[in-house]
Amino acid sequence: MGLYLVTGGAGFIGSCLVRRLLEEGEKVRVLDNLSTGKESNLEEVRSDIEFREGDVCDPNAVREAVEGVEFVFHEAAIPSVPRSVDQPLESHAANATGTLVLLRAARDARVRRLVYASSSSVYGANEELPKRESLRPEPLSPYAVAKLAAEHYCMVFHYLYGLETVALRYFNVFGPRQDPSSHYSGVVSRFIDAIVSGRRPVIFGDGEQTRDFTYVENVADMNLSACHAPRAAGRVYNVGCGERTSLNELWKIMAKAAGSKLEPVYEAKRAGDVPHSQADIGLAVEELGYRPRVSLTEGIERCLEFYGVLNRPAGVKYPGLE
């Protein structure tokens, strides 16, 4: 049994991945500076993991965190396009420099493989749909630039130093424990917050922008596949469902499932947002056997169930929720 390090393991995606590893019987260490992650996300598994509070930009903390580690899942980030527009230096430091610090430490510690959480935002202004990994990146925000730079660092460390790296481009991940409290939060978590609080949801732009919403358990599946597939080293893969849903459609799905009659409030489009996004997952299907197990509708129902706002008629059962 190898030791796995999850950076950002107290965050939304990281904590889901920690649980999946524990379910697989693996030993898990977490490194998180708790700037966006929360220890409460790991509350019921806290005694089963080794938790270290530290920053990926701190060489000493990272060097100690990778000691004896066989596999690294690098989820630590400041995950927000709008926040990067407001704070470009902070975004670059966490998302690009922090990754470089981690790569160097992983190389020196002889880590076998590092799986990096990149982003679909790297495609940016490229209008071709669906997004294939071979498309030319055209980033539109400091966040996207930093994620792309970190991808290149991963590939360089693979080809120069023999550290196996895999970059996964996440498409609009959602699920339980996604923090809805920030202006920078993902749209699904903000919509859930609106439902819970009874406030009208805010949509930036006309709501016709589309996204490939991907339930977090699908992302965990892909991470585990990428960690162990021999041919994945040195590669980049999309992680999505291969479908497009507009924000207006998303709200209708969520409002219906929750029994909400709230109507959205529309505000000005945000800088750095791309109009449309959809993953081509053919490469991941072919090379890693990836199949998204949880659909958008089921994922929404799971989220609403988690927060206690699913409008479940008497006698109705939902797959995966029993």
- Rounded Cα distance between 309 and 260, Å, is 10
End-to-end CA distance of the chain: 32
- Catalytic: which of 4, 116, 123, 143? 143
Question: Between the CA of residue 207 and those of 260, 268, 275, what are the distances in Å?
Answer: 18, 11, 10
143 is catalytic: yes
210: its two tokens? 């589309």
Q: Say how many CA atoms lie within 13 Å of 290 toward its Cβ.
A: 32
Whether 96 and 55 have beta carbons less than 8 Å apart is answered as: no
For residue 141, report the phi and psi dihedrals to the nearest 5 degrees.
-145, 160
Q: CA-CA distance, 177 to 52, in Å (whole number)?
A: 20
Please name the amino acid found at residue 289: G
Residue 239, beta-bridge partner list: 170
With tokens 């162990």, the residue in question is 228
Is 143:80 a contact under the CB 8 Å cutoff? yes
Which residues are part of the catalytic machinery?
Answer: 143
